[in-house]
């Protein structure tokens, strides 16, 4: 019957059975139970402190909520679809267990500000976990960078050989990306870390509540400043989804490189068997399923961001039922990001690097052509003229099936009389790498410094 609902006083007919299932959120929002109970305990303490309910009621409510928490974590709590969501499931059980005191808990609040609180508490916990996992991935990258300090690989633009770089320098590029991802998560945390409880349904409450006291109990540095905004916006969740989408983009780019590097054509790395699968028909196959799947999961995280943006784009103030659709994209993104980070940290730590293959690839493809141009500039030739000279030398090598280090001094001097025997020392892989000493460059001394800097951070 409608009167059995916590809001049933206004209604004379029961909710349609399918509508009840269609509008319920308990199947997915039950994961908020810890946050819901924590928020309710803080709210009860405040109500008692303000004299809105008795001290005896507070004690009874807290004991009842702690008992429900134990039941949920023991798996003995039966969730009811008819009670719609995590809030009403807990409140109904509390009232059933402790009587009238349980019915007083909801004084001075609404499910609107309650769910806004639960999501913020939940997201605050999850952001900390995501950043912890980012630290683990960064540590894995730094371990590999330290282990292979000095090993040279080809750097690419347009996936064409460009210039030789240190493999460690390449890994540190991802360290920088993931450090920025941590920064975005921390920035998101700053903006969402305000207490919305006390906003009520949309206009605040007539009871003499102390929002700042609840904020202190729940470790919020402050409270939200507008009741309408408090219950009707989810920009903090959108900001998290946006930061998560960028993080997944970085993982996807890294995945693409690991997939390419592990091909028989490249053979730069070999992923551990623990992170690959085989073929049901081709016995020789070793497929990089983990990076492929992370690359694919990036799309669902993008989709979750667009989904919530679309939900929110046309909503008038304040709360609307549409906003129930905020949780599944958020939960799915959190699960996807955390799973991807966990598997990536372990996979990177265990991958084997084929340093000889990387070096031979770096030595091919005229990767030191720019160093020849720089050599000529130091001899007094304008860079554009030097660029043309080296371009002609490369064309000659292509036609003669040679590489630049194979040219004789006579062949070199046919392109420019400024070239002397010292050209050979100027275009070794080590000379090319170590000549790039400016901050952020690939020189060994710079890369060593950046590894130490990242460790210290």
Dig out the tokens for 276 from the structure.
């690959």
Report, in angstroms and rounded to the nearest whole number, the Rg of the chain calculated over CA atoms: 31
> Which has the closest alpha carbon to 127: 338, 309, 302?
338
Close Cβ partners of 241 (under 8 Å, ≥ 6 residues apart): 301, 304, 305, 308, 329, 330, 333
> Active site residue: 158, 264, 280, 401, which one?
158
86 burial class (0-12, 13-18, 19+ CB within 10 angstroms)? buried
Q: Which residue has the tokens 């623990």?
A: 274
250 tagged catalytic: no
- List the catalytic residue out of 96, 272, 279, 360: 279
Segments in 323-422 forming alpha helices (H): 327-350, 355-363, 369-378, 383-400, 409-413
Structural contact between residues 291 and 260, judged by C-beta atoms closer than 8 angstroms: no
In 131-272, where do the E strands start and end?
152-157, 160-166, 269-270
Our answer to whether residue 279 is catalytic in this structure is yes
Q: Which residue has the tokens 């630290």?
A: 135
Contact between 88 and 113 (Cβ < 8 Å): no
HEC string for 279-329: CCCCCCCCECHHHHHHHHHHHHHHHHHHHHHHHHCCCCCCCCHHHHHHHHH
Active site residues: 158, 279
């Amino acid at each position: 019957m409608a009167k059995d609902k916590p809001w049933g006083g206004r209604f004379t007919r029961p909710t349609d059975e399918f509508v009840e299932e269609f509008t319920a959120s308990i199947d997915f929002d039950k994961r908020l139970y810890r946050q819901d109970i924590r928020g309710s305990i803080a709210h009860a303490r405040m109500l008692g402190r303000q004299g809105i309910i008795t001290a005896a009621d507070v004690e009874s409510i807290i004991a009842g909520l702690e008992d429900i928490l134990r039941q949920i974590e023991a798996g003995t709590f039966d969730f009811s679809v008819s009670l719609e969501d995590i809030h009403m499931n807990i409140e109904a059980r509390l009232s059933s267990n402790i009587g009238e005191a349980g019915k007083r808990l909801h004084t001075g609040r609404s499910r609107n500000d309650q769910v806004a609180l639960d999501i913020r508490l939940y997201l605050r916990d999850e952001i900390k976990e995501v950043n912890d996992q980012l630290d683990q991935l960064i540590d894995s990258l730094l371990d590999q960078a330290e282990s292979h300090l000095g090993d040279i690989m080809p750097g690419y633009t347009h996936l064409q050989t460009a210039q030789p770089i240190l493999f460690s320098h390449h890994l540190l590029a991802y360290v920088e990306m993931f450090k920025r991802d941590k920064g975005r998560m921390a920035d998101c945390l700053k903006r969402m870390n305000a207490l919305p409880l006390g906003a009520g349904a949309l206009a605040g409450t007539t009871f003499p509540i102390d929002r700042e006291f609840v904020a202190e109990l729940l470790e919020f540095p402050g409270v939200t400043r507008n009741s309408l905004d408090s219950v009707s916006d989810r920009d903090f969740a959108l900001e998290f989804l946006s930061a998560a989408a960028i993080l997944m983009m970085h993982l996807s780019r890294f995945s693409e490189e690991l997939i390419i590097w592990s091909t028989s054509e490249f053979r730069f790395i070999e992923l551990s068997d623990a992170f690959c699968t085989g073929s049901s028909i081709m016995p020789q196959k070793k497929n990089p399923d983990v990076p492929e799947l992370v690359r694919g999961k990036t799309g669902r995280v993008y989709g979750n961001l667009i989904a919530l943006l679309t939900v929110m784009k046309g909503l008038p103030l304040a709360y609307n039922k549409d906003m129930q659709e905020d949780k599944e994209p958020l939960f799915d993104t959190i699960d996807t990001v955390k799973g991807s980070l966990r598997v990536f940290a372990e996979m990177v730590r265990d991958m084997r690097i084929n340093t000889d293959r990387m070096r031979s690839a770096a030595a091919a493809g005229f990767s030191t052509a720019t160093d020849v141009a720089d050599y000529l500039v130091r001899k007094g030739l304008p860079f554009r003229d030097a660029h043309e000279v080296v371009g002609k030398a490369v064309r000659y090598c292509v036609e003669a099936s040679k590489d630049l280090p194979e040219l004789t001094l006579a062949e070199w001097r046919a392109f420019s009389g400024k070239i002397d025997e010292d050209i050979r020392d100027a275009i070794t892989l080590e000379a090319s790498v170590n000549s790039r000493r400016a901050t952020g460059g690939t020189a060994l001394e710079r890369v060593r410094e950046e590894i130490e800097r990242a460790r210290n951070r």
